[in-house]
Amino acid sequence: MLNLFENIHSKIENGARVSDAEALELFASDDLLAVGELAALANAKKNGDRVFFNVNRHINYTNICVNRCTFCAFSKGVEDEGCYTLALNDILRKAAEAGAAGATEIHMVGGLHPELPFDFYLEMLAAIKADNPALHLKAFTAVEIDYFASLTGQSAAEVVAELKAAGLDSMPGGGAEIFAPRVREKICPEKISGERWLEVTEAVHRSSLKTNATMLFGHLEEYEDRVDHLSKLRELQDRTGGFQAFIPLAFQPDNTRVPGAKGVGGVDALKTLAISRIYLDNFRHVKAYWVMLGLKVAQVALAFGVNDFDGTVVEEKIGHDAGADSPQALSREQLCTLIRKAGRTPVERDTLYNELRVY
Protein backbone atom coordinates (compact mmCIF):
# COMPACT_ATOMS: atom_id res chain seq x y z
CA MET A 1 0.00 0.00 0.00
CA LEU A 2 2.77 2.42 0.93
CA ASN A 3 4.30 1.74 -2.45
CA LEU A 4 1.02 2.50 -4.18
CA PHE A 5 0.77 5.91 -2.54
CA GLU A 6 4.46 6.67 -3.14
CA ASN A 7 4.26 5.66 -6.78
CA ILE A 8 1.20 7.76 -7.41
CA HIS A 9 2.72 10.64 -5.51
CA SER A 10 5.73 10.68 -7.80
CA LYS A 11 3.50 10.27 -10.85
CA ILE A 12 1.55 13.36 -9.84
CA GLU A 13 4.76 15.28 -9.17
CA ASN A 14 6.08 14.32 -12.60
CA GLY A 15 2.85 14.79 -14.50
CA ALA A 16 2.60 11.07 -15.33
CA ARG A 17 -0.67 9.19 -15.67
CA VAL A 18 -2.27 6.92 -13.11
CA SER A 19 -3.23 3.52 -14.57
CA ASP A 20 -6.62 1.84 -14.32
CA ALA A 21 -5.11 -0.76 -11.99
CA GLU A 22 -3.79 1.95 -9.69
CA ALA A 23 -7.16 3.71 -9.65
CA LEU A 24 -8.77 0.42 -8.65
CA GLU A 25 -6.27 -0.06 -5.84
CA LEU A 26 -7.08 3.42 -4.57
CA PHE A 27 -10.79 2.55 -4.53
CA ALA A 28 -9.99 -0.62 -2.59
CA SER A 29 -7.90 1.25 -0.02
CA ASP A 30 -9.36 2.19 3.35
CA ASP A 31 -6.85 4.97 3.86
CA LEU A 32 -9.16 7.86 3.08
CA LEU A 33 -6.76 10.58 4.13
CA ALA A 34 -3.85 9.22 2.10
CA VAL A 35 -6.06 9.20 -1.01
CA GLY A 36 -7.19 12.71 -0.13
CA GLU A 37 -3.63 13.97 0.17
CA LEU A 38 -2.78 12.73 -3.32
CA ALA A 39 -5.87 14.40 -4.76
CA ALA A 40 -5.12 17.63 -2.92
CA LEU A 41 -1.63 17.59 -4.40
CA ALA A 42 -2.95 16.94 -7.91
CA ASN A 43 -5.42 19.79 -7.56
CA ALA A 44 -2.94 22.23 -6.02
CA LYS A 45 -0.64 21.75 -8.99
CA LYS A 46 -3.47 22.64 -11.37
CA ASN A 47 -5.47 25.23 -9.46
CA GLY A 48 -3.56 26.46 -6.42
CA ASP A 49 -5.82 27.38 -3.54
CA ARG A 50 -8.60 28.87 -5.64
CA VAL A 51 -12.08 27.43 -5.58
CA PHE A 52 -14.58 28.38 -8.24
CA PHE A 53 -18.29 28.95 -7.96
CA ASN A 54 -20.81 30.60 -10.23
CA VAL A 55 -24.09 32.41 -9.88
CA ASN A 56 -26.57 30.31 -11.77
CA ARG A 57 -30.12 29.11 -11.82
CA HIS A 58 -31.48 25.69 -12.68
CA ILE A 59 -34.64 25.46 -14.76
CA ASN A 60 -36.16 22.03 -15.32
CA TYR A 61 -38.68 22.77 -18.07
CA THR A 62 -40.46 19.40 -17.83
CA ASN A 63 -40.41 16.28 -15.70
CA ILE A 64 -42.29 14.23 -18.28
CA CYS A 65 -39.94 11.63 -19.67
CA VAL A 66 -40.29 8.64 -21.97
CA ASN A 67 -37.30 7.04 -20.25
CA ARG A 68 -38.22 5.66 -16.87
CA CYS A 69 -34.80 5.21 -15.32
CA THR A 70 -35.07 3.29 -12.08
CA PHE A 71 -32.60 5.58 -10.30
CA CYS A 72 -34.66 8.70 -11.04
CA ALA A 73 -37.31 10.14 -8.73
CA PHE A 74 -37.93 13.16 -10.96
CA SER A 75 -39.47 11.70 -14.10
CA LYS A 76 -43.21 11.29 -14.62
CA GLY A 77 -45.46 9.94 -17.35
CA VAL A 78 -47.82 12.27 -19.25
CA GLU A 79 -50.75 10.97 -17.23
CA ASP A 80 -49.07 10.96 -13.84
CA GLU A 81 -50.06 13.19 -10.99
CA GLY A 82 -47.41 15.85 -10.42
CA CYS A 83 -46.20 15.91 -14.01
CA TYR A 84 -45.53 19.35 -15.42
CA THR A 85 -44.24 21.26 -18.39
CA LEU A 86 -43.39 24.90 -17.88
CA ALA A 87 -44.96 27.39 -20.25
CA LEU A 88 -42.51 29.56 -22.17
CA ASN A 89 -43.64 32.60 -20.17
CA ASP A 90 -42.74 30.88 -16.89
CA ILE A 91 -39.37 29.90 -18.25
CA LEU A 92 -38.73 33.47 -19.37
CA ARG A 93 -39.81 34.81 -15.99
CA LYS A 94 -37.43 32.47 -14.15
CA ALA A 95 -34.59 33.43 -16.50
CA ALA A 96 -35.32 37.15 -16.08
CA GLU A 97 -35.35 36.74 -12.28
CA ALA A 98 -32.01 34.99 -12.48
CA GLY A 99 -30.55 37.73 -14.66
CA ALA A 100 -31.81 40.40 -12.27
CA ALA A 101 -30.26 38.53 -9.34
CA GLY A 102 -26.84 38.66 -10.99
CA ALA A 103 -26.79 35.16 -12.49
CA THR A 104 -24.41 34.56 -15.36
CA GLU A 105 -25.72 31.13 -16.30
CA ILE A 106 -28.97 29.27 -16.83
CA HIS A 107 -28.65 25.51 -16.37
CA MET A 108 -31.52 23.79 -18.18
CA VAL A 109 -32.27 20.11 -18.46
CA GLY A 110 -35.51 18.18 -18.58
CA GLY A 111 -37.20 14.92 -19.40
CA LEU A 112 -37.60 13.44 -22.88
CA HIS A 113 -41.08 14.78 -23.52
CA PRO A 114 -43.13 12.62 -25.91
CA GLU A 115 -45.04 15.49 -27.49
CA LEU A 116 -42.97 18.67 -27.48
CA PRO A 117 -41.55 19.35 -30.95
CA PHE A 118 -37.91 20.23 -31.51
CA ASP A 119 -39.02 23.78 -32.32
CA PHE A 120 -40.11 24.21 -28.69
CA TYR A 121 -36.49 23.95 -27.58
CA LEU A 122 -35.21 26.24 -30.32
CA GLU A 123 -37.81 28.86 -29.45
CA MET A 124 -37.07 28.52 -25.75
CA LEU A 125 -33.35 29.17 -26.29
CA ALA A 126 -33.95 32.02 -28.70
CA ALA A 127 -36.50 33.71 -26.45
CA ILE A 128 -34.31 33.50 -23.34
CA LYS A 129 -31.33 34.78 -25.31
CA ALA A 130 -33.34 37.65 -26.78
CA ASP A 131 -34.44 38.74 -23.29
CA ASN A 132 -31.09 38.13 -21.61
CA PRO A 133 -28.27 38.34 -24.13
CA ALA A 134 -25.62 38.24 -21.38
CA LEU A 135 -26.84 34.99 -19.83
CA HIS A 136 -24.89 31.88 -20.75
CA LEU A 137 -27.25 29.06 -21.72
CA LYS A 138 -25.92 25.73 -20.57
CA ALA A 139 -28.56 23.21 -21.50
CA PHE A 140 -29.43 19.64 -22.50
CA THR A 141 -27.67 16.38 -21.91
CA ALA A 142 -26.34 14.12 -24.64
CA VAL A 143 -29.46 12.03 -23.98
CA GLU A 144 -31.68 14.93 -25.02
CA ILE A 145 -29.53 15.68 -28.06
CA ASP A 146 -29.91 12.08 -29.20
CA TYR A 147 -33.66 12.33 -28.60
CA PHE A 148 -33.91 15.51 -30.67
CA ALA A 149 -31.94 13.78 -33.42
CA SER A 150 -34.42 10.93 -33.51
CA LEU A 151 -37.37 13.39 -33.38
CA THR A 152 -36.07 15.26 -36.40
CA GLY A 153 -34.26 12.53 -38.29
CA GLN A 154 -31.09 14.60 -38.17
CA SER A 155 -27.62 13.74 -36.96
CA ALA A 156 -26.50 14.85 -33.52
CA ALA A 157 -24.16 17.36 -35.15
CA GLU A 158 -27.00 18.89 -37.14
CA VAL A 159 -29.20 19.15 -34.05
CA VAL A 160 -26.41 20.81 -32.09
CA ALA A 161 -25.78 23.28 -34.92
CA GLU A 162 -29.43 24.36 -34.83
CA LEU A 163 -29.48 24.63 -31.02
CA LYS A 164 -26.26 26.61 -31.13
CA ALA A 165 -27.69 29.00 -33.70
CA ALA A 166 -30.73 29.46 -31.41
CA GLY A 167 -28.54 30.39 -28.44
CA LEU A 168 -27.08 27.27 -26.82
CA ASP A 169 -23.67 28.11 -25.34
CA SER A 170 -22.56 24.87 -23.67
CA MET A 171 -23.81 21.62 -22.17
CA PRO A 172 -23.84 20.33 -18.59
CA GLY A 173 -22.75 16.68 -18.92
CA GLY A 174 -25.65 14.76 -17.41
CA GLY A 175 -27.04 11.43 -18.54
CA ALA A 176 -23.67 9.71 -18.45
CA GLU A 177 -24.69 7.71 -15.33
CA ILE A 178 -22.33 4.70 -15.52
CA PHE A 179 -21.21 3.61 -18.97
CA ALA A 180 -21.02 -0.13 -18.19
CA PRO A 181 -23.90 -1.83 -20.11
CA ARG A 182 -24.43 -4.45 -17.36
CA VAL A 183 -25.31 -1.70 -14.85
CA ARG A 184 -27.07 0.58 -17.33
CA GLU A 185 -29.42 -2.25 -18.18
CA LYS A 186 -30.66 -2.19 -14.59
CA ILE A 187 -30.72 1.50 -13.74
CA CYS A 188 -31.67 3.08 -17.08
CA PRO A 189 -32.63 0.38 -19.60
CA GLU A 190 -34.31 2.79 -22.05
CA LYS A 191 -31.62 5.43 -22.00
CA ILE A 192 -29.00 5.69 -24.74
CA SER A 193 -25.94 3.50 -24.28
CA GLY A 194 -22.72 4.77 -22.80
CA GLU A 195 -21.14 4.43 -26.21
CA ARG A 196 -23.79 6.67 -27.75
CA TRP A 197 -23.38 9.21 -24.92
CA LEU A 198 -19.68 9.42 -25.73
CA GLU A 199 -20.36 9.64 -29.47
CA VAL A 200 -22.90 12.47 -29.06
CA THR A 201 -20.62 14.31 -26.65
CA GLU A 202 -17.76 14.01 -29.13
CA ALA A 203 -20.00 15.54 -31.79
CA VAL A 204 -20.85 18.39 -29.41
CA HIS A 205 -17.18 19.04 -28.72
CA ARG A 206 -16.49 19.01 -32.50
CA SER A 207 -19.14 21.72 -32.83
CA SER A 208 -16.87 23.69 -30.48
CA LEU A 209 -19.24 23.66 -27.55
CA LYS A 210 -17.78 22.82 -24.16
CA THR A 211 -19.46 20.30 -21.90
CA ASN A 212 -18.98 18.82 -18.46
CA ALA A 213 -19.02 15.11 -17.68
CA THR A 214 -20.83 13.37 -14.85
CA MET A 215 -20.84 9.93 -13.25
CA LEU A 216 -23.73 8.68 -11.14
CA PHE A 217 -22.25 6.39 -8.49
CA GLY A 218 -23.32 4.49 -5.40
CA HIS A 219 -26.10 2.33 -6.88
CA LEU A 220 -25.32 -1.08 -8.42
CA GLU A 221 -21.93 -0.44 -9.97
CA GLU A 222 -18.61 -1.96 -8.93
CA TYR A 223 -15.36 -0.05 -8.54
CA GLU A 224 -14.32 -1.55 -11.91
CA ASP A 225 -17.29 0.18 -13.52
CA ARG A 226 -16.29 3.52 -12.06
CA VAL A 227 -12.74 3.15 -13.33
CA ASP A 228 -14.05 2.06 -16.75
CA HIS A 229 -16.24 5.18 -16.79
CA LEU A 230 -13.34 7.45 -15.87
CA SER A 231 -11.11 5.81 -18.42
CA LYS A 232 -13.57 6.39 -21.27
CA LEU A 233 -13.88 10.05 -20.28
CA ARG A 234 -10.11 10.49 -20.11
CA GLU A 235 -9.79 8.91 -23.55
CA LEU A 236 -12.41 11.19 -25.10
CA GLN A 237 -10.88 14.23 -23.45
CA ASP A 238 -7.54 13.30 -25.02
CA ARG A 239 -9.19 13.45 -28.43
CA THR A 240 -11.35 16.57 -28.04
CA GLY A 241 -10.31 18.62 -25.00
CA GLY A 242 -13.97 19.62 -24.82
CA PHE A 243 -14.66 18.74 -21.18
CA GLN A 244 -14.44 21.45 -18.57
CA ALA A 245 -15.37 19.84 -15.26
CA PHE A 246 -15.94 16.33 -14.01
CA ILE A 247 -18.86 16.00 -11.61
CA PRO A 248 -19.35 12.73 -9.72
CA LEU A 249 -23.00 12.57 -8.64
CA ALA A 250 -23.79 10.68 -5.44
CA PHE A 251 -26.89 8.53 -6.02
CA GLN A 252 -29.89 9.58 -3.90
CA PRO A 253 -32.07 6.55 -3.19
CA ASP A 254 -35.38 8.02 -1.95
CA ASN A 255 -38.40 7.48 -4.19
CA THR A 256 -36.32 5.53 -6.68
CA ARG A 257 -36.67 1.94 -7.86
CA VAL A 258 -33.16 0.54 -7.86
CA PRO A 259 -33.42 -2.68 -5.86
CA GLY A 260 -30.94 -2.92 -3.02
CA ALA A 261 -29.24 0.42 -3.64
CA LYS A 262 -28.57 2.37 -0.45
CA GLY A 263 -26.91 5.58 -1.50
CA VAL A 264 -23.45 6.85 -0.88
CA GLY A 265 -21.60 7.14 2.42
CA GLY A 266 -19.49 10.20 3.13
CA VAL A 267 -16.28 8.22 2.85
CA ASP A 268 -17.14 6.78 -0.56
CA ALA A 269 -18.19 10.20 -1.82
CA LEU A 270 -14.91 11.81 -0.81
CA LYS A 271 -12.83 8.91 -2.08
CA THR A 272 -14.57 8.98 -5.44
CA LEU A 273 -14.07 12.72 -5.84
CA ALA A 274 -10.42 12.34 -4.85
CA ILE A 275 -9.69 9.40 -7.18
CA SER A 276 -11.41 11.26 -10.02
CA ARG A 277 -9.07 14.19 -9.41
CA ILE A 278 -6.04 11.91 -9.38
CA TYR A 279 -7.03 9.88 -12.44
CA LEU A 280 -8.46 12.58 -14.76
CA ASP A 281 -5.23 14.44 -15.30
CA ASN A 282 -6.58 16.04 -18.48
CA PHE A 283 -9.60 17.59 -16.76
CA ARG A 284 -8.90 20.99 -15.25
CA HIS A 285 -11.81 20.99 -12.81
CA VAL A 286 -13.51 18.57 -10.43
CA LYS A 287 -16.77 19.77 -8.99
CA ALA A 288 -18.48 18.97 -5.68
CA TYR A 289 -22.17 19.18 -6.48
CA TRP A 290 -23.44 20.22 -3.05
CA VAL A 291 -27.06 19.47 -3.93
CA MET A 292 -26.31 15.73 -3.95
CA LEU A 293 -23.43 15.62 -1.45
CA GLY A 294 -24.89 17.90 1.20
CA LEU A 295 -23.16 21.12 2.18
CA LYS A 296 -20.92 19.65 4.84
CA VAL A 297 -19.45 16.81 2.81
CA ALA A 298 -19.17 19.09 -0.26
CA GLN A 299 -17.19 21.61 1.76
CA VAL A 300 -14.93 18.91 3.18
CA ALA A 301 -14.40 17.73 -0.42
CA LEU A 302 -12.41 20.92 -1.02
CA ALA A 303 -9.64 19.21 0.96
CA PHE A 304 -9.96 16.12 -1.26
CA GLY A 305 -9.00 17.56 -4.64
CA VAL A 306 -12.11 19.52 -5.53
CA ASN A 307 -11.75 23.02 -6.97
CA ASP A 308 -15.32 23.85 -7.98
CA PHE A 309 -18.24 24.28 -5.58
CA ASP A 310 -20.93 24.58 -8.27
CA GLY A 311 -23.28 27.53 -7.98
CA THR A 312 -26.24 29.20 -6.38
CA VAL A 313 -28.67 26.83 -8.20
CA VAL A 314 -31.81 28.60 -6.81
CA GLU A 315 -34.38 25.90 -7.58
CA GLU A 316 -33.36 22.27 -7.67
CA LYS A 317 -35.81 19.48 -8.39
CA ILE A 318 -33.99 16.36 -9.52
CA GLY A 319 -31.85 15.66 -6.45
CA HIS A 320 -34.47 16.86 -4.00
CA ASP A 321 -37.17 14.61 -5.47
CA ALA A 322 -34.79 11.77 -4.58
CA GLY A 323 -34.43 12.89 -0.99
CA ALA A 324 -31.39 15.19 -1.03
CA ASP A 325 -31.51 17.16 2.23
CA SER A 326 -29.43 20.10 1.05
CA PRO A 327 -31.02 23.54 0.70
CA GLN A 328 -32.62 24.65 -2.58
CA ALA A 329 -30.35 27.61 -3.05
CA LEU A 330 -27.20 29.21 -1.72
CA SER A 331 -26.32 32.87 -1.88
CA ARG A 332 -23.02 34.17 -3.22
CA GLU A 333 -22.11 35.10 0.36
CA GLN A 334 -22.88 31.61 1.68
CA LEU A 335 -20.75 30.03 -1.04
CA CYS A 336 -17.87 32.40 -0.30
CA THR A 337 -18.12 31.75 3.44
CA LEU A 338 -18.06 27.96 3.03
CA ILE A 339 -15.07 28.16 0.70
CA ARG A 340 -13.23 30.57 2.98
CA LYS A 341 -13.94 28.45 6.05
CA ALA A 342 -12.25 25.60 4.21
CA GLY A 343 -9.16 27.78 4.02
CA ARG A 344 -9.45 28.49 0.30
CA THR A 345 -9.93 31.52 -1.92
CA PRO A 346 -13.40 31.89 -3.47
CA VAL A 347 -13.46 32.93 -7.12
CA GLU A 348 -16.65 33.66 -8.99
CA ARG A 349 -16.40 32.32 -12.54
CA ASP A 350 -18.53 32.32 -15.63
CA THR A 351 -19.55 29.06 -17.28
CA LEU A 352 -16.35 28.89 -19.32
CA TYR A 353 -14.22 29.38 -16.20
CA ASN A 354 -13.24 32.96 -16.88
CA GLU A 355 -12.59 34.57 -13.51
CA LEU A 356 -15.14 37.27 -12.77
CA ARG A 357 -14.13 38.20 -9.25
CA VAL A 358 -11.73 36.99 -6.61
CA TYR A 359 -13.19 37.32 -3.12
Binding site for other proteins (CB under 8 A): 30, 32-33, 36-37, 40, 262, 264-270, 293-300, 302-303, 325, 337-338, 341-343
> Is the CB of 268 or the CB of 315 nearer to other proteins?
268
> Is the CB of 193 or the CB of 345 nearer to other proteins?
345
Question: Least separation, in Å, of the C-beta of 264 and other proteins?
Answer: 8
Secondary structure class of 188 (helix, strand, coil): coil
**What is the DSSP code (8-state) at residue 285?**
E
The amino acid at 250 = A
Q: CA 334 → CA 47, 99, 316, 318, distances in Å?
A: 22, 19, 17, 22
> Is the CB of 280 or the CB of 339 nearer to other proteins?
339
Question: Least separation, in Å, of the C-beta of 304 and other proteins?
Answer: 8
Question: Least separation, in Å, of the C-beta of 27 and other proteins?
Answer: 12
> Is the CB of 325 or the CB of 355 nearer to other proteins?
325
CA 210 to chain centre: 13
Distance, in Å, from the CA atom of 56 to the CA atom of 12, rounded to the nearest integer, reads: 33
Q: CA 113 → CA 74, 84, 235, 237, 279, distances in Å?
A: 13, 10, 32, 30, 36
Question: Least separation, in Å, of the C-beta of 289 and other proteins?
Answer: 14
> Is the CB of 87 or the CB of 267 nearer to other proteins?
267
Q: CA 233 → CA 28, 236, 286, distances in Å?
A: 21, 5, 13
Question: Least separation, in Å, of the C-beta of 36 and other proteins?
Answer: 6
> Is the CB of 252 or the CB of 312 nearer to other proteins?
252
Task: Judge whether 273 and 303 are in contact, CB under 8 Å.
Answer: no
Containing 308, the helix (H) or strand (E) segment is strand 308-311
Question: Least separation, in Å, of the C-beta of 267 and other proteins?
Answer: 5
